[in-house]
């Protein structure tokens, strides 16, 4: 069975034996999980043996596109990279922008699976059907930016490059994979998995195309959808402001964290808000197939980044007690080059700052220490000096030195920068997220803060709210549609699927796939021993009330959190312990 | 005696506030971000926005309102000198 929109082909690379072969894509799985996130998790569930060490050759990297990748459908250029996470032991799928997804598809593949490990540092060169294993000893130890520049000069700037920095080489569990210099598959140590395979980079160029039904009529319809849906004001703000627009809204909304989540709303936020940052804009960029172009290049002194995005601004700024925009941009640039996830690396440093301030353990850094913050990133990536400890991440640092009361993580993945005491549903979203604390699985502030449609400081209705948000994102990311096409509906997704595959899809199909993706991710984690005991809320959110902002006085009672968890499990048909019953498991 | 009382009532009946619009909502101020306006004393955020021609229930992408840097409910009351901010919906991460 084949389907239009797909290449119907997987490239399977054996890094140990330095061999590559193609095989048909499992279309029976594609029908149930579509592509990108969902399909990657299904493959991971079927192919990874339970209990494997995420940093062993038994782990695999699944680079997965979707049926819309490489078509004229806007905002469809993202790539899912999945593997078992060394940070959490859960499944982990990351979404990365840039152009690599299109190159993979144009090279003739829906998916590339990387197995085993190279014996010595190397990189992969994939040009259509030609796969070559190249020596990377000269690149090993270099930053991601320099690595990408050298490889682009050697193989051509028309190739896409996915690379790791020193953090990935040194198996730091918060290492990311970079592409197009400033785009990241950021979370859960996906870069460490690549490093464990001695794989410094993947260089890829495709020259083919993607077949969809009746290209002329389809393109007309897609152009109309672009004009009428994608390019609405609700979406185009991202072109003008990028995610810097979130800073002021989060500050006013009472969910901008400050000093390791000890409070919210930094009085100095105007020093580094979107308007200040965007004064330094020197360029714009979007991913392949993008209709919105969220990327802003900012230059402060000798530091230049595409961004910084809201998460990086918040973690390196107010959550670190820093209000200097140049320091924030520099932090972002160094983290990218070192190949570190800004969220986890920033949170870990912020935790160390509080530990030092409280006299629990002296890490030699305090809130506001912007020079050391950047120096520590480099030490973490290389596991040198104090960086050897900090590279452990918040959970393991707390286990080693204390500070569990203000260690903000779920399952070992550090907290993103939306403070849940101002948006209670977010504590549930973080707790039940398949890869640990992630804001991309269900984005509760949308409902509780920014749209003000659901009261934020109550448990009531939050199970269903988070479920609805999670189903929406699960299908959206399985189609490989970018988060910033915010107005897309289930109905529109079904329409687009019908356009590219020629097969009829309904709104209900989309919802069913979304729910199935949540189940399969949970099933992977369940097999690894995860259950309710791991769907946690950090103690700080239960024990300490916020002191300022609109949510002043708010904390989340344990009973309220437990209630939200019960509601969420019930909507999905899981038992009280968060276990998926057999009748659902056997349908996956 | 009547005039001073009326005058006092009238003074209390009007107050000055600042309304700031964010993102795509600036179109309601023809591109300006901020205006100082006179509104009925003790009015709600909803009423204040109506005085400048914004019926939030009719704005498809209306998000939320904040007063003096803190999110409030649309039916919360304002006082003299308040800075009312209105946001469009924000989505994403």
Contacts of A440 in chain B (CB under 8 A): 93
CB-CB: which of B61, B72, B93 is closest to A234?
Answer: B61
Q: How far apart are CA A487 and CA A116, in angstroms?
A: 41
**Chain B: residue nearest A233 by CA?**
B24
Return the H-helix or E-strand segment holding A247: helix A245-253
CB-CB: which of A252, A483, A549 is closest to B93?
Answer: A483
Question: Residue A125: its pLDDT value, please?
Answer: 98
pLDDT band at A1 (very low <50, low <70, confident <90, very high): confident
Domains A9-205 and A238-407 share a fold: no
Range with lowest mean pLDDT among A104-118, A272-286, A554-568: A272-286
Contacts of A275 in chain B (CB under 8 A): none
A303-306: strand order across its sheet: A281-285, A295-300, A303-306
For A9-205, CATH gives 3.60.9.10
**Chain B: residue nearest A269 by CA?**
B69
Question: Residue B93: its pLDDT value, please?
Answer: 56
CB–CB of A450 and B63 under 8 A?
Answer: yes
CB-CB: which of B23, B61, B66 is closest to A245?
Answer: B23
How high does pLDDT run on average in chain A? 96
Q: How far apart are CA A282 and CA A300, in angstroms?
A: 10
pLDDT band at B92 (very low <50, low <70, confident <90, very high): low
CB–CB of B91 and A443 under 8 A?
Answer: yes
Closest-CA distance of chain B to residue A455, Å: 10
CB–CB of A254 and B61 under 8 A?
Answer: no
Contacts of B72 in chain A (CB under 8 A): 550
pLDDT band at B7 (very low <50, low <70, confident <90, very high): low
Check pLDDT > 90 for residue A111.
yes
Contacts of A254 in chain B (CB under 8 A): 70-71
CB–CB of A251 and B93 under 8 A?
Answer: no
Question: Residue A185: its pLDDT value, please?
Answer: 96
CB–CB of B23 and A446 under 8 A?
Answer: no
Q: Which CATH number fits domain A238-407: 3.90.550.10, 1.10.569.10, 3.40.50.9100, 1.10.1200.10?
A: 1.10.569.10
Q: Which two tokens stand for residue A179?
A: 């592409």
pLDDT band at A395 (very low <50, low <70, confident <90, very high): very high
Contacts of B22 in chain A (CB under 8 A): 245, 248-249
| pLDDT tens profile A510-541 | 999 999 999 999 999 999 999 999 999 999 99
Question: Residue B11: its pLDDT value, please?
Answer: 55
Give the mutation candidate from A248, A426, A489 for the B interface (greatest B CB count, under 10 A): A248
CB-CB: which of A416, A452, A484 is closest to B64?
Answer: A452
Check pLDDT > 90 for residue B20.
yes
The residue written with tokens 């160094």 in the block is: A334
**Which one has a higher pLDDT value, B89 or A569?**
A569
Among B67, B66, B46, residue whose Cα is nearest residue B57: B46
Check pLDDT > 70 for residue A563.
yes
- Alpha helices per DSSP H over A402-461: 424-432, 445
Question: Residue B10: its pLDDT value, please?
Answer: 53
pLDDT band at A473 (very low <50, low <70, confident <90, very high): very high
Prediction pTM value? 0.95
Contacts of A416 in chain B (CB under 8 A): 93
pLDDT band at A194 (very low <50, low <70, confident <90, very high): very high
**Chain A: residue nearest B67 by CA?**
A252
Cβ atoms B92, A310 nearer than 8 A:
no
Question: Residue A414: its pLDDT value, please?
Answer: 98
Q: Is A93 helix (H, G, I), strand (E, B) or coil?
A: strand
Give the mutation candidate from A78, A246, A252, A481 for the B interface (greatest B CB count, under 10 A): A252
Burial B12-25 (b: 16+ CB within 10 A, else e): eeebebebbbbbbb
For each of the domains in chain B, give its residue range(s) and CATH number, in order of start. 14-88 (3.10.20.30)
Q: Which residues pair with A132 in a beta bridge?
A: A125
How high does pLDDT run on average in chain B? 86
B70: left (phi over 0), alpha (psi -120 to 50) or beta: beta
Check pLDDT > 90 for residue B61.
no
Range with lowest mean pLDDT among A212-216, A301-305, A416-420: A301-305
Closest-CA distance of chain B to residue A272, Å: 16
Check pLDDT > 80 for residue A221.
yes
Using DSSP bridges, classify how beta strands A122-127 and A303-306 pair: parallel, antiparallel or unpaired: unpaired
**Which one has a higher pLDDT value, A58 or B30?**
A58
Neighbour tally for A526: CB within 10 Å: 18
Give the mutation candidate from A433, A445, A452, A553 for the B interface (greatest B CB count, under 10 A): A452
Using DSSP bridges, classify how beta strands A281-285 and A177-179 pair: parallel, antiparallel or unpaired: unpaired
Check pLDDT > 70 for residue A452.
no
Query: Which top CATH class is A422-486+506-588?
Result: mainly alpha
- Give whole-number Cα distances, A485 to A95, A219, A283, A392, A488, in Å: 15, 18, 21, 35, 6
- Burial class for A554, CB neighbours closer than 10 Å (0-12, 13-18, 19+): buried
Range with lowest mean pLDDT among A281-285, A384-388, A408-412, A558-562: A281-285
CB-CB: which of B70, B85, B89 is closest to A550?
Answer: B70
**Chain B: residue nearest A244 by CA?**
B93
**Which one has a higher pLDDT value, A472 or B32?**
A472
Q: How far apart are CA A375 and CA A358, in angstroms?
A: 22
Closest-CA distance of chain B to residue A398, Å: 27
CB-CB: which of B70, B74, B90 is closest to A549?
Answer: B70
Q: How far apart are CA A328 and CA A303, in angstroms?
A: 10
DSSP class of residue A226 equals I
Question: Residue B4: its pLDDT value, please?
Answer: 53
Among A456, A421, A454, residue whose Cα is nearest residue A538: A421
Check pLDDT > 70 for residue B12.
no
pLDDT (mean) for B50-79: 92
Q: How far apart are CA A439 and CA A414, in angstroms?
A: 11
Question: Residue A321: its pLDDT value, please?
Answer: 97
- Spans of all domains in chain A: 9-205, 238-407, 422-486+506-588
CB-CB: which of B64, B90, B93 is closest to A440?
Answer: B93
pLDDT (mean) for B18-38: 91
| pLDDT tens profile A66-90 | 999 999 999 999 999 999 999 999 9
Q: How many CB pairs under 8 A join A and B?
A: 83
Question: Residue A236: its pLDDT value, please?
Answer: 86
Q: How far apart are CA A354 and CA A540, in angstroms?
A: 13
| pLDDT tens profile A139-191 | 999 999 999 999 999 999 999 999 999 999 999 999 999 999 999 999 999 99
Measured in residues, chain B has a length of 93
CB–CB of B91 and A416 under 8 A?
Answer: no
Contacts of B84 in chain A (CB under 8 A): none
**CA of residue A226 relative to chain centroid, distance:** 25
């Amino acid at each position: 069975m084949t389907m239009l929109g797909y290449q119907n082909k997987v490239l399977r690379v054996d890094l140990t034996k330095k061999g590559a072969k193609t095989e048909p894509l499992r279309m029976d799985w594609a029908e149930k999980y579509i592509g990108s996130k969902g399909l990657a998790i299904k493959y991971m569930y079927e192919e990874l043996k339970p209990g494997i060490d995420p940093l062993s050759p038994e782990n695999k990297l699944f680079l997965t596109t979707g049926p819309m990748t490489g078509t004229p459908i806007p905002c469809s250029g993202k790539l899912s990279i999945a593997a078992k996470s060394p940070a959490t032991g859960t499944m982990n799928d990351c979404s990365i922008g840039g152009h690599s997804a299109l190159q993979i598809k144009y090279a003739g593949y829906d998916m590339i699976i990387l197995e085993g490990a190279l014996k010595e540092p190397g990189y992969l060169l994939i040009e259509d059907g030609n796969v070559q294993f190249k020596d990377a000893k000269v690149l090993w130890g270099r930053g991601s930016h320099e690595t990408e520049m050298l490889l682009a000069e050697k193989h051509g700037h028309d190739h896409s490059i996915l690379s790791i920095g020193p953090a990935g080489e040194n198996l730091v569990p918060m290492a990311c994979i970079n592409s197009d210099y400033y785009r990241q598959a950021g979370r859960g140590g996906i870069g460490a998995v690549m490093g464990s395979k001695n794989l410094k980079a993947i260089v890829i160029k495709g020259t083919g195309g993607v077949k969809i039904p009746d290209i002329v009529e389809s393109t007309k319809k897609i152009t109309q959808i672009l004009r009428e849906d994608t390019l609405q004001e609700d979406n185009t703000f991202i072109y003008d402001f990028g995610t810097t627009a979130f800073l002021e809204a989060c500050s006013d909304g009472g969910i901008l964290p400050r000093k390791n989540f000890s409070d919210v709303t930094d009085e100095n936020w105007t020093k580094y808000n979107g308007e200040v940052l965007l004064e330094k804009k020197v360029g714009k960029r979007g991913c392949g197939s993008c209709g919105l172009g969220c990327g802003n290049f900012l230059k402060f002194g000798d530091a230049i980044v595409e961004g910084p995005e809201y998460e990086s601004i918040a973690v390196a700024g107010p959550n670190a007690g820093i209000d200097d925009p140049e320091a924030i941009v520099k932090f972002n640039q160094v983290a990218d080059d070192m190949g570190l996830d800004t969220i986890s690396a920033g949170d870990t440093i912020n935790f160390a700052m509080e530990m030092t301030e409280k006299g629990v353990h002296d890490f030699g850094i305090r809130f506001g220490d912007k020079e050391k913050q950047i120096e520590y990133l480099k030490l973490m990536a290389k596991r040198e000096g104090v960086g050897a400890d900090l590279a452990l991440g918040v959970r393991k640092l707390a286990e080693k030195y204390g500070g569990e009361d203000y260690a903000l993580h779920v399952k070992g993945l550090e907290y993103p920068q939306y403070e849940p005491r101002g948006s209670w549903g977010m504590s549930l979203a973080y707790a039940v997220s398949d890869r640990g604390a992630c804001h991309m699985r269900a984005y509760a502030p949308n409902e509780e803060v920014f749209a003000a449609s659901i009261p934020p400081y109550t448990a009531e209705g939050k199970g269903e709210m988070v479920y609805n948000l999670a189903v929406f994102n699960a299908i959206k990311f399985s189609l490989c549609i970018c988060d910033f096409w915010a107005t897309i509906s289930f109905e529109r997704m079904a329409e687009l699927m019908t356009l590219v595959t020629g097969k009829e899809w309904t709104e209900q199909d989309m919802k069913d796939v979304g729910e199935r993706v949540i189940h399969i991710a949970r099933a992977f984690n369940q097999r690894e021993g995860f259950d309710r005991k791991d769907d946690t809320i950090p103690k700080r959110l239960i024990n300490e009330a916020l002191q300022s902002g609109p949510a002043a006085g708010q904390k989340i009672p344990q009973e309220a959190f437990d209630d939200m968890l019960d509601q969420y499990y019930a909507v999905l048909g899981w038992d009280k312990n968060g276990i998926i019953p057999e009748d659902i498991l056997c349908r996956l | 005696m009547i005039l001073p009382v009326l005058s006092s009532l009238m003074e209390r009946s009007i107050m000055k506030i600042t309304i700031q619009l964010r993102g795509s909502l600036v179109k309601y101020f023809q591109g300006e971000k901020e205006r100082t306006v006179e509104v009925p004393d003790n009015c709600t955020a909803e009423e204040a926005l109506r005085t400048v021609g914004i019926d939030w229930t009719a704005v498809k992408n209306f998000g939320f309102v904040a007063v003096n840097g803190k999110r409030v409910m649309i039916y919360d009351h304002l006082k003299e000198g308040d800075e009312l901010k209105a946001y469009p919906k924000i989505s994403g991460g």
